[in-house]
Amino acid sequence: MSSNLSIQPAAELRQPFAAWAVAQRPKLRTVGPSSFGVPAALFADVPEELLLGALVDGQPYVPRQDAAAPAETEPGSAPPETAPGAEQESGPGEALPELPPEAHEPDAVPLDGPDFAPLEDVPVEEQPATEDQDDAAEFVCADCQKSFSGDRGLAMHRTRVHGG
């Protein structure tokens, strides 16, 4: 019987502790007006919150820190460190313009609308008219003054007659 611990829960925890005590098998028994006899082997199974402010064998209960850390503080601090951190890395991608490319077309300045005058308004420089090609004799052999309709004809002529 010496292995039993006498636990006197705090006044506000007496009822929940009693509820836990009677739920054990075998049922825990009271050893005093407000104390419960808890086997030493079962002491580790007593919920931490039921032992706060309790007296264990007449000594104030010291919260367990090494073996069983309080379950209330752990969950609140651990999860936020991992989950949101990774998502923040991909955040800058959302800063890109949301408008689709076609949305810019109506207001965009036409690229084919130059400031200078269109080609038909530009003064036409002097260039040989195609219909006057025969009389103009643009391609004339410098040696024999023979005219040709094109530079190719002239080149062939010079190669054959004048040896290139």
Interacting residue ranges for Zn ion, rule: CB under 5 A: 141, 143-144, 146, 161
For Zn ion, the closer CB: 40 or 161: 161
For Zn ion, the closer CB: 14 or 146: 146
**Structure-block tokens of residue 15:** 């009822």
Position closest to Zn ion via CB: 141
Residue 111 half-sphere exposure toward CB, CA atoms < 13 A: 2
Mapped onto helix, strand or coil, the DSSP state of residue 83 is helix
In terms of DSSP bridges, do strands 4-8 and 139-140 run parallel, antiparallel, or are they unpaired? unpaired
In whole angstroms, the minimum distance from the beta carbon of 128 to Zn ion comes to 20
In whole angstroms, the minimum distance from the beta carbon of 155 to Zn ion comes to 11
- Asked, as a colleague might, if the bond just before 26 is cis with ω within 30 of 0, I would say yes
In whole angstroms, the minimum distance from the beta carbon of 136 to Zn ion comes to 18
